[in-house]
Structure 1
Amino acid sequence: MTIHERLKEERLRLGLSQDEFAALAGVSKRAQANYEKDRSPQADYLAALDSEGVDTHYVLTGRRSDDPAQPEFETSGLSASSGLSPVAMYDIEAAAGDGRSLEREEVESTLYFPTEQLAAQGLDPAQVVGIKVRGDSMDGTLADGDWVLVDRSSRDPHPEGVFLLLVHGERRIKRVQRVAGGAWLLISDNPRYEKELIKPQDMKDVEILGRCEIRIGRVN
């Protein structure tokens, strides 16, 4: 079966019409019909379906994610044969262990992104993780429940941008701006939140975990 046939099969398994399935992903019925016919699904479309409980692992690989009888697949083989790269997705709220690396946290899901598209954005798939945004502090840029792809190889706050940070053992997503004297200003894009100044002597309590590069969220 092709990915298009598996997508249709998954929709029918859930008992949904094309209209209803399209609504889950925030696309039109026409776009859904094209995905089931010959159009390659986009990453944000698959991420939206995955967050709604659709078995996107099956759609992409033909293997049910909850089937213990299915053998483990080789991710390197999957990437080589399909041009997809696996990206581990973490819930920033659940992944809250003090000072723990993300690799030691529980992966909420794994999504597969076209390797060429990641490379076109200057991203090494081996250095990319997905983080679920929590809270409204970055409203205007990132909404609660959005996913964002984070480049863990980019930990220099220059040029300025939005970063995943470890601040006093707590993971946060903030805009980082360098100011005079070597201090950092942590900025929430939601104006209701105050800016936070990190003085040079307090830098030991702050670590940049990666730069936020690609937002995946529902279209409102």
Structure 2
Amino acid sequence: MSIFGERLRQERQRLGLSQEEFGEAGGVKKVAQSNYETGKRRPDSEYLERVSALGVDIQFLFSGMRTDNADATFGLSPSQSEEGLAPVPLFDIEAAAGDGRSLEQEQIETTLYFPAEQLEAQGLDPAQVVGVKVRGDSMDGTLADGDWVLVDRSRREPKPEGVFLLLVHGERRIKRVQRVAGGAWLLISDNDHYQPELIKPEDMKDVEILGRCEIRIGRVS
């Protein structure tokens, strides 16, 4: 991937857009947008004018330096940004190829940098935070397909109840966890089209909490 293409992808993700949505705003198809991000092709001036109107920092695309009005906390390396930023690796849980237990074994899709103080103010240890991409519509109403969610890996017990990244029968899922009588868990999808799943105490060996979902990053609809 070219440096320009990587920066273009970072700008698209900063704005919370898919390749298809971003390409449409720039007047091209998804395949062209993909080619721009992988460095197979370079966009023309008309495309750049269109995405600039969308909010893309054109100076950052070409120089790596952001303009004063750009969001300086996303997509920068520590050498390009002020001290005090914490790197948060982002993983696509659908593309995961490992055994599901260790995200560190998976390929990082990208890295976002957040002010460590802001994460700590939310009660999060920056060293324990990772981002995962939401897949599917089972959590619609809370999390949409394509959203990113920051996960606190230090919180692996359903106390208090909430939304968690889980390993269920070897598959990573994001579900709301509710404890029920007898020590069982109820895995709930916020989309009413999906039925809750009861995990009995004797089946707990097949379920593991990988972390609590704390902060959503997604497009405003």
**Partner residue in 2 for 1:115:** 116
Are 2:54 and 1:23 equivalent residues in the alignment?
yes
**Structure 1 segment 81-160 matched on structure 2, within 5 A:** 81-160=82-161
Q: Deviations over 1:163-214 (max 9, x none)?
A: 0000000000000000000000000000000100000000000000000000
Aligned to 2:71: 41
Counterpart check, 1:57 vs 2:76: yes
**Is 1:213 paired with 2:214?**
yes
Query: Who is 2:30 aligned against?
Result: none
- Which consecutive unaligned segments of at least 5 residues does structure 1 have? 1-5, 26-35, 47-55, 63-77
Query: Which secondary structure does the structure 2 equivalent of 1:191 belong to?
Result: coil
Give per-residue Cα distances to partners, 1:92-150, cap 9 Å, x unaligned: 10114334410111111111111111011010010000000000000000000000000
**1:189 maps to 2:190:** yes
Cα separation, 2, equivalents of 1:105 and 1:130: 12
Identity of counterpart residues, as a percentage?
Answer: 73
Name the CA shift for 1:23/1:39 in 2 (closer, same or farther; >3 Å). Answer: closer
Residues 99 and 148 of structure 1: is their aligned pair in 2 closer, same or farther, counting only changes over 3 Å?
closer
Q: Is residue 84–residue 113 contact of structure 1 (8 Å, CA) maintained in 2?
A: yes
TM-score computed with the length of structure 2 as normaliser:
0.70
Distance in structure 1 (CA, Å) of the matches to 2:96 and 2:114: 22
- Distance change (3 Å), C-alpha of 1:21 and 1:192: farther
> Does the 8 Å CA contact 2:101/2:167 hold for their aligned counterparts?
no
Change (3 A) 1:21 1:200: farther
2 CA distance for matches of 1:177 and 1:96?
28
Amino acid at match of 1:171: R
SS at match of 1:57: coil
The total of aligned residue pairs comes to 172
Structure 1 equivalent of residue 37 of structure 2: none
**Distance in 1 (alpha carbons) for counterparts of 2:99 and 2:135:** 17
For the 8 Å contact 1:96–1:170, the answer to whether it is kept is no
Distance in 2 (CA, whole Å) between partners of 1:192 and 1:143 is 14
